[in-house]
Amino acid sequence: MAWRIGAVALLSVWWRRPKAGGMQMMAWQFGPQLSDNSLTRFRLWAPDAIEQGWAVRLEVLGLGPTLMRESSHGWLEVEAPCGAGSRYWFRLDNGMSVPDPASRAQAVDVQGASIVCDASSYAWCNPDWLGRPLAEAVIHETDNDSHCSFMEVASHLPALAARGFTAVSLNPHAQDSVACKCFYAPLPFAPERSYGGLNQLRALVDRAHGLGMMVLVTLAYDQFVSEGNQLGHYASPFFQYNGSGNAINFQHPAVRQYFTENVLYWLIDFQIDGLYLVVADSAAAECWISELAATVRATLPEERRVHLLDCRV
């Protein structure tokens, strides 16, 4: 197993969260929301589809297609009688099937079906972990080229803790295509399936916390890869042309909400201790980062330390 220790620029400080509480369940705007074991709400931000009068359908494996109804501000939504483990996708009026851009897990890769997931399915062994000050961080950076599973990484944590490491940094593991596993991925909510999936990543974080170690994850928001990125077909305001390609449009409220929820998702559903935020350096991105910091402070409980590391490029 290949490992490397990398020099890491820590660009922000930790803060305490202002509200008391333990594990949280969020009412997400993006992604499927389980109402109970047999009912799920699905939402899709598709302003182009609405503007063009398209009929967009939810298709769940084993169920018939369901026409999504228009909500407000570019949103489509529908409820379906299905629960955790259900495979689904959205069918555009031109016949194209697209994954949920906030898919929590993919059945195969970015081109295939998304999967409804239940965040409460994992029983945390260390739910009272409070984190550590950033000044105590002695970081071991995993080597993405080793293609180790989450459980393989977890098995090395006791030895790392014994050597004095207090944090482990994971390279981006967001779901990418089978053909091209690269730094930028179009489904930033979905941990890479080939590394073990959601609960094995939670088990890695849980074991690290049991050893007194933090877990840091990199989230690359400066661009999306083109392969598997279907947003341009129904949500073109997600992007803006910056002279060299399509950049993330942080000026749009729905786009800012998408990435804010992605950050909160990693912090809450995976109990990640810190995030490296790789964002293109722009005035809109700077405003979003300030807005994000305020949202994190207002949303998460007081006692636990969380680190957001500004890595604008």
* Same domain for 50 and 95: yes
- Residue 103 and residue 170 in one domain: no
pLDDT of residue 181: 43
CATH number of the structural domain spanning residue 147 = 3.20.20.80
Given a contact cutoff of 8 angstroms between Cβ atoms, the answer to whether 100 and 77 are in contact is no
What is the pLDDT averaged over residues 121-145?
88
Does one domain contain both 182 and 246?
A: yes
pLDDT digits (tens, 9 = 90+) for 74-88: 999 999 999 999 999
Q: What is the pLDDT of residues 267-276, one digit of tens each?
A: 999 999 999 9
Please tell me the predicted confidence (pLDDT) of residue 224.
63
Is there a single domain that holds both residue 67 and residue 167?
no
Percentage of the chain lying above the pLDDT 70 cut: 81
Containing domain of residue 40, as a range? 33-120
Residue scoring higher pLDDT (6 or 109): 109
What is the pLDDT at residue 310?
83
Residue 34 has pLDDT above 80, yes or no: yes
User: What is the per-residue pLDDT across 49-102, written as a single tens digit (0 to 9) for each?
Assistant: 999 999 999 999 999 899 999 999 999 999 999 999 999 999 999 999 999 999
Share of the chain above pLDDT 90, in %: 57
Q: pLDDT digit string (tens) for 302-313?
A: 788 999 988 765
Whether residue 132 sits in one domain with residue 64: no
* Residue 214 or 248, more confident: 214
Q: What is the DSSP letter of 73?
A: T
End position of a domain, from candidates 105, 120, 135: 120
Q: Are residues 171 and 77 in the same domain?
A: no
CATH code for the domain of 94: 2.60.40.10
Sorting pLDDT into bands at 50, 70 and 90, what band is 197?
A: confident
Q: What is the mean pLDDT of residues 217-243?
A: 78
Q: Which residue has the higher pLDDT, 224 or 75?
A: 75
What is the reported pTM?
0.87
Residue with tokens 């890769």: 109
**pLDDT recorded at residue 19:** 39
Quote the pLDDT of residue 66. Answer: 97
Domain count, the chain: 2
The pLDDT score that the predictor gives to residue 130 is 87
More confident residue, 278 or 19: 278
